[in-house]
Amino acid sequence: MRTFDSVIGHREIIEHLQNAVRMGKVSHAYLISGEEGSGKKLLAGIFAAALQCERGGTDPCGICSSCKKAESGNHPDIIRITHEKPSSIGVEEIRNQLVDDVAIKPYSSPYKIYVIDEAEKLTVQAQNAILKTIEEPPAYAVILLLTRNAEALLPTISSRCVKLKLKAVSDAMIKNYLIDTCHLPDYQAEMDAAFAQGSVGKAQKIATSEEFARVREHALRIVKYSKDMPMQELVETMKRLAQEKETIYDYLDLFLLWFRDVLLFKATWEVDNLVFKQEINAIKERASSSSYEGLEAIIKAIEKAKSRLHANVNFDLTMELLFLTIREN
């Protein structure tokens, strides 16, 4: 069973949660925010298990009956809210699983804990239904709201919660974790850590993904030969490779890391701090042929392309504008 000691980073938040358990000063509502893969569900799960642990420590013991139920996902007093629609959590789901249920006392534990993942998907009506419970909760009730976007919640909800924002974990910590846990070679661990942008979960996912290795290989080939490929071929290649919407952002993030490496090498002529060290010959060639202003324009164009795709701007037009900037600079 995972404990707080096994979590990479987030020491201040862990200390706060452990102190709450130790001193018995547990809030009735917590708002835990952070990017996908930042560890929200992991921390919420450990916190919930620790609160219910029969041994009463600041970490779940992993041995008692309560911990075993928590680990298996079958604890009667740790309720994870489910929803049918992938894009929203409706008021009836909240009423049935939380508002009506919270009046029933815990079966066998000191607390009754409700975990709402993707809380940004709560409709306004659903949030208003939760509000009364947060305002006048039973002594045993604890609500854990997990979200990528805390701004999506009503001020009346967030102001009544203890807010815990998960910060990005350092690349060095993630790199060491990948080397120790996933047994990656140094250069790959460094590359995956940089791409993960502070998310341990994302780093672990891409480190063990054959699909991501394929994406990385194609992305490097495109940026290295983009000046030689016809525009239509570039656009069609991107469309074919990024058939799933989320994959296109992986490509763009890899482009971004590549051109940042080129800019960094042009400024310092040092290899040690590059993400793509093994591509030094191609990086050196690009650094020699592009100006500082041109590389900065490319980096801005990649960020702009991501914004355009998020705003549902036409894919072909977005790619044409991006590759036009890459080819001209």
Domains and CATH numbers, the chain: 4-165 (3.40.50.300), 209-328 (1.20.272)
Quick one: the chain helix, strand, coil %, rounded to 5?
Answer: 60, 10, 30
Q: Is residue 134 within 8 Å of residue 28, measured between CB atoms?
A: yes
Q: Is residue 107 within 8 Å of residue 76, measured between CB atoms?
A: yes
CA pair distance 265, 327, nearest whole angstrom: 19
Average confidence (pLDDT) per 10 residues, the chain, 329 residues: 91 96 94 91 96 94 95 95 92 95 94 96 95 93 95 94 94 91 86 86 85 86 86 84 74 92 93 87 93 95 90 89 91
pLDDT at residue 294, as a whole number: 93
pTM: 0.78
* Helix H or strand E encompassing 142: strand 141-147
The tokens for 257 are 């890391």
Please give the distance of CA 173 from its chain centroid, rounded to a whole number.
16
pLDDT at residue 245, as a whole number: 60
Amino acid (1-letter code) at residue 91: V
Torsion of Cα atoms, 279 then 282 then 285 then 286, to 10°: -100
pLDDT at residue 28, as a whole number: 95
164: left (phi over 0), alpha (psi -120 to 50) or beta: beta
DSSP letter for 169, please.
Answer: P
pLDDT at residue 244, as a whole number: 64
pLDDT at residue 274, as a whole number: 87
